[in-house]
Chains A and B, each alone.
Chain A
Amino acid sequence: METAIMPDAGFLKRLDNEIKVNVNACYQCGKCSAGCPMNYAMDLTPAQLIHAIRLGLKDLVLNSKTMWLCSSCQTCSTRCPQEVDIARVMDAVKIIAVAEGVKPQVPKVIAFNKATLRNIKWFGRMYELGLICDLKLRTLEFFKDLGLGVRMLRKGKLKLVPSVSPGRTLATMSIFSRVSNKEGQTKK
């Protein structure tokens, strides 16, 4: 049976706009995949993901688990003999997937990212207990890590109330809104 492949030439251009990384330098040695600590959980290895990008297989790439399971440990980018910054490609693919409204294959990671960024935007610094509560509302895993949280509180490692400073909140709020304005402009 023949599989229909519908390459999307615009995808590579889009990726190139997001980051300046030349994926075409890749010669598929597989070093990135061999050293990747998360390879066991991915559906495509990092090298396969890079190859799929070169072929313009946008749907395959954006619906992969791989980029969501990248721990950003930078091993691939460090070891690549062709200096392809694979970790940066992973970030760009995540950003494009969200922009295109693709349902992420690993929803917990994106829930964590959203909860963290909201936390930073509001408080200027991380308020861990607030982050955990926000994450629980997003994932509905109310009992996960409850015992651990209590032990951390007892050790005085989690603050009950956030440290709030209006000046700091103003600083992060303004950075967040200016970034989204800028990104809105670039898209137009």
Chain B
Amino acid sequence: MTAKYAYYPGCSLHSTAVEYDASFKAVAAKLDIELEEVPGWVCCGTSPAHSTSHLLSIALPIKNLALAEAAKATQMVVPCAACYSRFKFALYDMHHDQKIGDEVKEIVGSSFQGNIKVLHPLEVIAKLPAAVLKENVKRQIDDLKVVCYYGCLLTRPPKVVRFVAGGQTPPEAGDDVEYPTTMDKILENVGINVLDWSYKTDCCGGAFALSETDAVLTLTQRILKNALEVGADAIVVACPLCHANPDTRQAEINAKYNTNYNMPIYYFTQLMGLAFGYSPEEMLINKHLTEPALLRNVGKEQSRMSW
């Protein structure tokens, strides 16, 4: 049965993370997940908004949720963990502070009901039975070993985001805040080798990419180091900021720490798409800045070998 969701891509998926947008849509098509982009959506305000004005940081997400509600949606899927976090905070604050709620409704100028649910693609896919994922697998990618990097904002703070638990009716136990496994399980179900590691929810420096870049180098280096130490060939992410920092800053990290990292960072939807039979070109594998030949030829050699 087709599941229908409003889709809020956020600014990154239209620019620095086009491969996340394309691969999520491709995977959704295989899994009968229908995505309808929220008409006229605007930026969620991200860190600069909540660092500058509490009211603004609530008003921008609520504007988008009101647009989705007006388009008759009851569930909205948000692939960027930073946007996802802002939406969850906006809903939480609206529900817990009547005054803010009234002010925001006045600012946004709509009769926002607040019954809409916000979900991350991981939550949407985690709802599906494992058998559905398994039956879509067309290709074995078993020579690749990965670690799953969830970053800060998917699971924290749990009372606000309720990662995995928030998408269930009735609410079930959510994923672990410090040691989540939702992405690990999804990838294992499509035949990817997932390794255990200890930096699943550590910060990469996030929004400091352009301002305090040196902090990004320090924090991201720790993440790359642990991934390499446990024997990973790649890091898999579910957020455009978790992708951008490790993908774009490896050369600078190598210069600063006298290291030799060359670790590709993939979106979990890109790996799912490859497993589902899409080509590396369709999954925009060549869009990354750190890109060893690792997955570029997936499918090509295999078809020669198997026939």
Contacts and interface: CB of A to CB of B under 8 A. Distances in A.
B31 interface: no
A91 B248 contact: no
Given A120-B43, A158-B15, A37 B56 contact: no
B212 interface: yes
B208 A73 contact: no
B211 A109 contact: yes
Interface residues of B, number: 57
Interface in A141-165: 144-145, 148, 151-152, 155-159, 163, 165
A180 B116 CA distance: 27
Contacts of B55: 179, 182-183
B93 to A, nearest CB: 10
A84 B206 CA distance: 23
B206 A175 contact: no
Contact of A112 (B54, B203, B211, B219): B211
A155 B108 CA distance: 37
A95 B52 contact: yes
Given A113-B47, A171-B40, A182-B103, A18 B54 contact: yes
A171 B63 contact: yes
A95 B16 contact: no
B212 A69 contact: yes
A168 interface: yes
A64 to B, nearest CB: 15
A54 interface: no
Contacts of A179: 53, 55-56, 59, 107
Contacts of A29: none
B137 interface: no
Interface in A64-107: 69, 71-75, 77-78, 85, 87, 91-92, 94-95, 98, 106
A71 B207 contact: yes
Interface in B168-198: 177
A38 interface: yes
Contacts of A114: 48
A9 interface: no
B289 interface: yes
B42 A74 contact: no
B16 A152 contact: yes
Nearest to A169: B42
B153 A74 contact: yes
Interface string A164-176: 0101100110111
A132 B210 contact: yes
B145 to A, nearest CB: 26
B139 interface: no
A71 B205 contact: yes
Contacts of B177: 78
B158 interface: yes
Contacts of A165: 40
Given A73-B156, A145-B213, A91 B51 contact: yes
30 contacts: A18-B54, A38-B203, A41-B212, A41-B215, A69-B212, A71-B206, A73-B203, A74-B157, A78-B156, A78-B158, A91-B54, A94-B51, A120-B42, A120-B48, A120-B60, A125-B14, A131-B210, A135-B210, A151-B248, A151-B289, A155-B287, A155-B288, A157-B17, A158-B16, A168-B42, A171-B40, A175-B42, A175-B56, A178-B107, A179-B107
Interface of B: 11-12, 14-18, 40-43, 45-56, 59-60, 63, 85, 97, 103, 106-109, 152-153, 156-158, 177, 202-203, 205-208, 210-213, 215, 218-219, 248, 286-289
Given A120-B43, A148-B248, 17 more contacts: A71-B215, A72-B51, A72-B207, A73-B156, A74-B153, A74-B156, A78-B177, A109-B212, A112-B210, A113-B52, A124-B43, A128-B11, A145-B210, A158-B16, A172-B60, A175-B63, A175-B108
